[in-house]
Structure 1
Amino acid sequence: MRWEELDQQPCSLSRTLSVIGDRWTLLVLRDCFLGVRRFDGFEKRLGVTRHLLADRLKKLVEHEVLQKVPYQQRPLREEYRLTDKGLALHPVIMSLVSWGDTYMADERGAPIEHIHKGCGKRMKPVMVCSECAEPVGARDIQVAVGAAFGDDVAQLLAT
């Protein structure tokens, strides 16, 4: 499978990676969730070339993960804001951060603490079943081919 063909695969992970699956895009999304909105803010924080940053932001806008919103009219200047589709990536980013805090942190621990506004306590993301609210991990889930996919997906599940 070629990188530029990921969006055509009968696999939700492949399709997702076609949009957000490179390191610079994930770091742009991290910064969005930390409140960065302007091109120069991303550029300064990431140290990425203008061309590469513009490319990643354009792709996120094209896929409606971000939207451009004017903050100045003369001259026109726009900032990037997460859409509902972009906000839906928050659990993904939080899971990656939590993994990094667990397996990649140094002796000082997590560089950023996430505090739940509701109770004021430090929190970690937990995946739960949408039906019964029980916590779930990899060993608690089985997979099945989606009704509309058949043989295209069956080969993905073959072990």
Structure 2
Amino acid sequence: MENLCPRFENAMQLLSKRWVGLILFELLNGAKRFSEMEADLPISGRLLSERLKLLEKEEIIVRNIYSEFPVRIEYSLTDKGRALEPVIQEIQHWANDWVTPEDLEEKKA
């Protein structure tokens, strides 16, 4: 029981970093190139690169390099990352049930 709180806190700190949840959500659909994620997410390339490096360091994603011409680099979820799928889906269900369009408008104001 002693280890539960620090582990939970560590997990929440990682998952609550801005854009991490959306990056993981994107990768649940399969491997993606950096440019695809950059186009799909409203995030700067620099910040996307930082978050991808963080997730790679945490072994949640893997960077695959294909020796083609030009070189192709894709990011995909590891088993550790795929294990987050039910968590992300439950957050999506919760958001669908409880986050209203009015809530979204208040955030923009």
Q: Same fold (TM over 0.5)?
A: yes
Q: Which has the higher helix share?
A: 2
Q: Is the 8 A contact 1:36 1:42 kept in 2?
A: no
Identify the residue that residue 94 of structure 1 maps to in structure 2. Answer: 89
Larger radius of gyration: 1
Give RMSD over aligned pairs. Answer: 1.9
Matches within 5 A, 1:36-47: 37-47=32-42
Q: Is the 8 A contact 1:64 1:86 kept in 2?
A: yes
Residue 10 of structure 1 deviates from its aligned partner by 5.0
Residue 79 of structure 1 deviates from its aligned partner by 0.3
The TM-score with structure 2 as length reference comes to 0.79
Q: Is the 8 A contact 1:67 1:82 kept in 2?
A: yes
Are 2:86 and 1:84 equivalent residues in the alignment?
A: no
Identify the residue that residue 99 of structure 2 maps to in structure 1. Answer: 104
- Which string of whole-angstrom CA distances, capped at 9 and with x for unpartnered residues, describes residues 106-140 of structure 1? 5xxxxxxxxxxxxxxxxxxxxxxxxxxxxxxxxxx
Identify the residue that residue 63 of structure 1 maps to in structure 2. Answer: 58
Gaps of 5+ in 1: 1-8, 107-159
Q: Which has the higher strand share?
A: 2
Gaps of 5+ in 2: 102-109
Residue 73 of structure 1 deviates from its aligned partner by 2.8
Aligned residue-pair number: 98
Amino acid at match of 1:47: P
The TM-score with structure 1 as length reference comes to 0.56
Q: Indicate the SS of the match to 1:74.
A: coil
Q: Indicate the SS of the match to 1:69.
A: strand
Percent identical among aligned pairs is: 33
Q: Distance in 2 between matches of 1:84 and 1:41?
A: 22
Identify the residue that residue 149 of structure 1 maps to in structure 2. Answer: none
For residue 12 of structure 2, the aligned residue among 10, 14, 17 is 17
- Which string of whole-angstrom CA distances, capped at 9 and with x for unpartnered residues, describes residues 51-89 of structure 1? 000000000011110001123433432100100000010
Question: Highest relative contact order (Cα 8 Å, sep 6+), 1 or 2?
Answer: 2
Amino acid at match of 2:85: H
